[in-house]
Amino acid sequence: MSASSAKQNPPFEPDLAACRAAARAVRATALWPQVRDAVRPPGVGIHRSRPPLGLLLYAAARDGRLVWRSADEFALLEPPIARGREWAGSDAGRTWLGRMDRWWDHLVFGVPPLLLLALSVPTSLVPRVGVLLALLLICTALLYIVAQMSLGLIPRSLKRMRGTSEDTARGLHWTVVLIHLTDPAKADRLLRAALDRSQHLTRANIRPDVAEGTHALMCLERAITTEEARQAVSAAPSATGSGPDQTGVRVVLDGGGFVPPDPGAHRPISFIPVLLIGTALVVGVAGLLTADAEAAACATAGDCADRPATWIDAMTWLAYRMVLDDAGLIPATTRARVFGWLMLPLGLVVLLCLVIAGRRQASTFRKRQERTYAHLETTINRRIRVLVLTVLDIERDAVISAVTAENGRRAEPDTLGGYPIFRLGRLGDQGTEVLVAQSAQGIVTPASMMLTTERLIPVVQPDYVILAGICFGLWSRRYDDGEQELGDVVVSEYVQNVDHRKVTDEDGSERIIWRGERVQASTPLLLAFKAATHGWTGRRVHFGSVLSGSTLVSSAALRADLHREFEEASAGEMELTGVYVATAGRRSGWIMVKGISDWGTGELTDDTRRPAAAAAAAFVVHALTVGTLPVPTRG
């Protein structure tokens, strides 16, 4: 977990009263019926598969799954269903509250009938009325099981037979099953805290598995308690829609590409073993009582042939009764006949459950493999993340103002890799995420552009890096008979390093041999920014070579020397070489977009800096919004 996340997400001391108060606030929301189905989905029967909300929050807080900032801002996480055994065996998942949470479904389904059956044994020993009471208890237990299956399990299994995006998401990934947020502006912060927490819990409690792919967090839209918060989550930079076939699920990840998991590598999820064990137990108890009744009835006649008078015969007869056969045995007692007729609906329920479970399991694996993650990967990899780099406060504020004016989102300060950044949200139909960072001037100090960029790229994982701000022009109308005016925008087609040079004396005069590299900006960015000039109504945009060196040019003589040596150069500045060097060998593309604030002759003032920085920022925002920026190819 990053230092910023640890600071933003302080440890929460579990408190049952606080959890109950939070549960009351959630239940009071208008969307609670939808939220309840997300956080407490239906169980295998007619009950809920999770305990009451207050107890559920408390259990989650104890094992670290409750991301808590306040009673008005918290999120509840669930581990991947397919990794449930590993989570259950970890230190975090082995608590008694955690076990109660996981087994709540089975406890409610199985404990009542088991208690009734267990109680029927001593009850049958009570003189005179014991057998009748025991029979009543057994019938009640059987009816409870039949009702749970027929009214709950079968209809819900039929409804889910096709599978849902939520089923597959919850099967393979950590999932946010509850978000309560009264201030929608904090949605992105809470999602990132939840993502960090899920990563921490995975590293600490679940062994690595190559089948998992990229760590991502699934957020169920119906788990969010207010419409305003749902809209904020949909617009959050860290949340991506999972595709047209998977509405209702947002994918949370912090930059980079996405490698989908291998669904076939996970253990099937099935309730069949529990169902068969429960059915066998019911038949076994019923067989014991049937054998006792039949043995007592036929003892006086001395002829127990063709009667289910032993436990084995009674078990065989009851099993055959499930398929309307009698195995050649004919009971004579009312108790046995009642049990025989109860076996028919029980057998039908078991058969239907087996068929439904088999079809559902096969369908789940097929659909996970064929469609669940194919478009999910495509959607996530359509994300574009841009890091805009600046030096001066004027440059930084110009970018923030331009992006905010376009998307209406307030800049959110954060820290990544030990460096302050601002998260500015998304732009355009592509949903391009924009972050801005600031460095010191030049490329030779510890806080300079080269080291700042080099350390930010691994943690930000941008697809593109844009250097924005101000520069001095070299094609001015005033000095060079060119076409540039103050406030125009320059986009780097090439960068020419003017720091690396050889100085020699020849025939008593100084001679300079320029050895700096001349490198073209990233082709996708360059073409995208050229295309973005279509429909652009702001200041004129010039493309050309940009001189980059550590010297602040404020001298007419030095400017004249540079212009003479590099006739094709359109502008000069101090940081672009650092950006180029820092991105070399990485997948992040780079380019410079700066406004002309002076001519390098000493006339630079704040009155010229501000409009130049604003013009460059406006063109950057236009290029990111118009949709010409290509989605990078991720390996």
Is 238 contained in some domain?
A: yes
Is 486 contained in some domain?
A: yes
**How far apart (Å, rounded) are the C-alpha atoms in residues 79 and 239?**
19
Give the list of residues 6+ apart from residue 573 with CB closer than 8 angstroms, or none.
469, 470, 471, 472, 546, 547, 548, 592, 594
**How far apart (Å, rounded) are the C-alpha atoms in residues 456 and 437?**
9
HSE-CB of 86 using CA atoms within 13 angstroms: 17
Higher-scoring residue by pLDDT: 179, 367: 179
Higher-scoring residue by pLDDT: 486, 382: 486
Cβ pair 247, 376 in contact under 8 A: no
Which pLDDT does position 111 carry in this prediction?
A: 85
Among 228, 263, 298, give the residue marking a domain's end. Answer: 263
Over residues 36-63, mean pLDDT: 84
The alpha carbon of 338 is separated from its chain's Cα centroid by a whole number of angstroms, namely: 53
Weakest-pLDDT range from 91-100, 144-153, 292-301, 381-390: 144-153
Q: Strand (E) positions, 112-184?
A: 174-181
Q: Are residues 254 and 399 in the same domain?
A: no
HEC string of 27-74 equals HCCCCHHHHHHHHCCECCCCCECCCCHHHHHHHHHHCCCEEEEECCEE
Q: Are residues 391 and 533 in the same domain?
A: yes
Q: Are residues 215 and 83 in the same domain?
A: yes
Among 241, 263, 285, give the residue marking a domain's end. Answer: 263
**How far apart (Å, rounded) are the C-alpha atoms in residues 101 and 380?**
32
The pLDDT tens digits of the residues spanning 223-272 come to 999 999 999 998 888 887 764 445 678 888 876 666 666 655 545 555 67
Which of 32, 37, 35 is CA-nearest to residue 160? 37
Weakest-pLDDT range from 26-40, 147-161, 586-600: 147-161
Cβ pair 4, 414 in contact under 8 A: yes
Over residues 159-183, mean pLDDT: 71
Is 187 contained in some domain?
A: yes
Model confidence at 162, in pLDDT bands (50, 70, 90)?
very low
Q: Strand (E) positions, 257-394?
A: 385-390
Is 436 contained in some domain?
A: yes
Q: Are residues 392 and 253 in the same domain?
A: no
Q: Are residues 94 and 223 in the same domain?
A: yes
R_g of the chain, CA atoms, integer Å: 35
Which of 79, 64, 253 is CA-nearest to residue 177? 79
Which pLDDT does position 389 carry in this prediction?
A: 96
The pLDDT tens digits of the residues spanning 542-596 come to 999 999 998 899 899 989 989 888 989 999 999 999 999 999 888 889 999 999 9
Exposed/middle/buried for residue 387 (C-beta within 10 Å: 0-12, 13-18, 19+): buried
Number of domains in the chain: 2
The pLDDT tens digits of the residues spanning 371-403 come to 445 555 656 666 789 999 999 999 999 999 999
The pLDDT tens digits of the residues spanning 445-470 come to 888 899 999 999 998 989 999 999 99
Structural domain range at position 593: 384-626
Kindly state the tokens that stand for 391: 């030096």
Among 263, 278, 308, give the residue marking a domain's end. Answer: 263
**How far apart (Å, rounded) are the C-alpha atoms in residues 603 and 245?**
58
Model confidence at 169, in pLDDT bands (50, 70, 90)?
low
Measured CA angle at 369 (ends 365, 370), to 5 deg = 115
CA-CA-CA-CA torsion sign (93, 94, 96, 99):
positive
Q: Are residues 245 and 392 in the same domain?
A: no
| pLDDT, averaged across the chain | 83
Which pLDDT does position 401 carry in this prediction?
A: 96
Which of 231, 266, 232, 236 is CA-nearest to residue 253? 236
Cβ pair 284, 291 in contact under 8 A: no
Which of 384, 401, 327, 424 is CA-nearest to residue 528? 384
Is 375 contained in some domain?
A: no
Q: What is the CATH number of the domain that holds 575?
A: 3.40.50.1580
Q: Are residues 171 and 30 in the same domain?
A: yes
Supply φ then ψ for residue 472, to 5 degrees: -105, 145
Q: How many Cβ atoms from other residues are within 10 Å of residue 407's Cβ?
A: 17
Higher-scoring residue by pLDDT: 626, 302: 626
Is 291 contained in some domain?
A: no
Assess whether pLDDT exceeds 50 at residue 99: yes
Higher-scoring residue by pLDDT: 253, 197: 197
Kindly state the tokens that stand for 492: 């780097």
Q: Are residues 62 and 209 in the same domain?
A: yes
Q: Are residues 48 and 184 in the same domain?
A: yes
Quote the crossing angle between the two packed helices 311-321 and 272-299, to the nearest 10°. 120
**How far apart (Å, rounded) are the C-alpha atoms in residues 603 and 19?**
63
* 138, β-bridge pairs: none
Weakest-pLDDT range from 93-97, 518-522, 607-611: 93-97
Which of 16, 5, 2, 4 is CA-nearest to residue 67? 5
Is 112 contained in some domain?
A: no
HSE-CB of 83 using CA atoms within 13 angstroms: 25
Is 351 contained in some domain?
A: no
